[in-house]
Amino acid sequence: MPGAVRILGAGAMGRLWAGYLPAGAAAFVQRPHTVPHPIDYQFCDLNGHHRRVTVADARDVTGTPEVLLVMTKAQDTQAAVAAHLPDLPPEVPVVLFQNGMGCQQAIARRWPERPVCAASTTEGAHRPDDQLTVHAGAGHTWVGAMTPTAHQQLSRVIRVLAASTRPVDCEPQILQRLWNKLIINAGINPFTALLDCPNGALPEQDYYRRHIDPLCLELHWLMEAEGLASPGPQQMRAQIETIARATANNSSSMRSDVARKRPTEIDYINGYVWRRGEELGLSLPVNRMLTEQVTALSATC
């Protein structure tokens, strides 16, 4: 059915998936009160081939969607989902693609009867300008259930996403998977934003070297308190630095957001760790300091 895959968030991720799904399969859910209009853009795939993609506005398509993919930034997600959910039949699965942690749990808590899934993806996309979306890094996507009814919908979600030809798998331990990515984001994003450096420069920076071991220890304490399998602080640091070096020329999304004077996802990365720690009676001062410094930096930009 045309427009059966509804995508909320026509940014880099939304356009990446719309670019790979079969022609006509995706439709963008736009902000309410905007005039319905299709979105047109150039899509550059992993081989550097450009093609034009046109995606319908969800208000211009009929029929019940198969799935809602939510590809807004973490801080926009609750409001965006709340605005759209009344229009969505209760059995339609909602798949949350946000980095970091906190908005997945908040949405699952708020709509416990809904099939809510979380996705963790290592695909990388960016938009150098409004007309162009670039698939910058080949990755893999894992999807897992966040609410009881989501379990029955997982195979449907995987089938819909796999039509893109991108690799997608079911993940029974989705929280562990999200945490593994949170460790990397918590160790790279705030430092690259504060130091205004590409990922590869991080391991040599004094500020990073001063704080990375206590940061990893705090992540380890929180994972243990949550009953999750922690790789241990030393292994965390090794993983962070391996990724930083493997993506040496990349600018993290947080550094880019600060440079573009856009809100960052810090509250869902180090901010989540600090506040979740407080809820569990843990003091996690390095995560708190990084959250406050990135917040202050964004405010002055």
Ligand X SMILES: NC(=O)c1ccc[n+]([C@@H]2O[C@H](COP(=O)([O-])OP(=O)(O)OC[C@H]3O[C@@H](n4cnc5c(N)ncnc54)[C@H](OP(=O)(O)O)[C@@H]3O)[C@@H](O)[C@H]2O)c1
* Site for ligand X, rule CB under 6 A: 8-14, 30-31, 71-74, 76, 79-80, 83, 97-99, 121, 124-125, 253, 265
Q: What residues contact residue 231 under an 8 Å CB cut-off, 6+ apart?
A: 183, 239
Q: Which is nearer to ligand X, 8 or 67 (CB)?
A: 8
Residues 205, 211 contacting (CB under 8 angstroms) = no
**Cα dihedral sign for 41, 36, 86, 66?**
negative
Least distance from ligand X to the Cβ atom of residue 10, Å: 5
Dmax (CA) of the chain: 56
Q: Which is nearer to ligand X, 78 or 176 (CB)?
A: 78
Least distance from ligand X to the Cβ atom of residue 134, Å: 10
Q: Which is nearer to ligand X, 144 or 233 (CB)?
A: 144
Chain residue whose CB lies nearest ligand X = 11
Residues 65, 2 contacting (CB under 8 angstroms) = no
Q: What residues contact residue 98 under an 8 Å CB cut-off, 6+ apart?
A: 70, 72, 73, 74, 77, 104, 265, 268
Least distance from ligand X to the Cβ atom of residue 210, Å: 27
Least distance from ligand X to the Cβ atom of residue 168, Å: 14
Q: Which is nearer to ligand X, 73 or 114 (CB)?
A: 73
Q: Which is nearer to ligand X, 248 or 280 (CB)?
A: 248
Least distance from ligand X to the Cβ atom of residue 41, Å: 11
Least distance from ligand X to the Cβ atom of residue 97, Å: 5
Q: Which is nearer to ligand X, 77 or 287 (CB)?
A: 77
